[in-house]
A and B are shown apart, each in its own frame.
With several copies, the nearest count.
Chain A
Amino acid sequence: MDRTTPRARIVSSPIDLGELLASVADVSCGATVLFVGSTRDQNEGRRVVELQYEAYEEMALKEMERIGSAAEAQWQIGKIALVHRLGNVPLGEASVAVAVSAPHRSDAFAAARYAIDQLKKTVPIWKKEVFEGGEVWIGLQGTSTTTNEKGR
């Protein structure tokens, strides 16, 4: 497998989806699945202004590489690439993307779903949601210590 393009990447500028798709192109693969996670304008009734992502970069890259290897071991795929954006991500822009090529579409779908599920479970990247009237670290909802209302 061609590994000149790293399987896992962390970027601070907008994610280039065309480049990501090109990085998994493989003429022996008839199926490619791309997942893109982007900033929604609302979450649990709050009007979101922007998201801020922070990572433990060295470990995050290692975990993303590990997810790629695990996907390659579990399904018959050609190439897989995972990329996460850090810093401020404006509404509607991609914060995370996963691309998988495979000879058959079942494997491409299964591996892409696995990769994004695992990425959200185990990769040390945190998201702070800035909404109208405050901000909150996602993943801590329900604990009274987490919402940090601005202006109080």
Chain B
Amino acid sequence: MVVKVRFFAVLRERAGVTSAELAFDRPPSVNEAWELLQQQYPALGPFRECVTFAVNRQYVDSWHPLHDGDELALIPPVSGGCDGEDC
């Protein structure tokens, strides 16, 4: 089974790619997919604590199970998210 991964903003810059495809023998959790991504793109490692995940354009927890053809997006903190008000 194959999961499509999309990278945005700081994670896109650090990984150096906008998307990737991950192959698995059996359906992984989002967290297992992240572990594999970290191996392939070590620059992602420091972002584990602040990244959130979306599957098929919906926010999910890291234990969410992935299925063949799913689109997993790595979501860094959104612009107004972490630092309170910017405007």
Contact = CB atoms under 8 A, between A and B. Distances in A.
A59 B54 contact: yes
Contacts of A128: 9
Interface residues of B, number: 25
A127 B50 CA distance: 16
A139 B83 contact: yes
A24 to B, nearest CB: 14
Interface string A85-126: 000000000000000000111100000000000011111111
A140 B10 contact: yes
B51 to A, nearest CB: 11
A31 interface: yes
A137 B75 CA distance: 13
A54 B9 contact: yes
A29 to B, nearest CB: 8
Given A106-B85, A120-B81, A140 B76 contact: yes
A139 B79 contact: yes
A138 interface: yes
A145 interface: yes
Given A56-B75, A120-B86, A124-B73, 8 more contacts: A54-B12, A56-B8, A56-B54, A126-B10, A140-B82, A143-B46, A143-B50, A145-B47
Interface of B: 6, 8-10, 12, 46-47, 50, 54, 57-59, 73, 75-83, 85-87
20 contacts: A54-B12, A56-B54, A59-B58, A104-B85, A105-B85, A120-B81, A121-B81, A122-B59, A124-B8, A124-B78, A125-B78, A125-B79, A126-B79, A137-B10, A137-B76, A138-B86, A139-B81, A139-B82, A141-B82, A145-B47
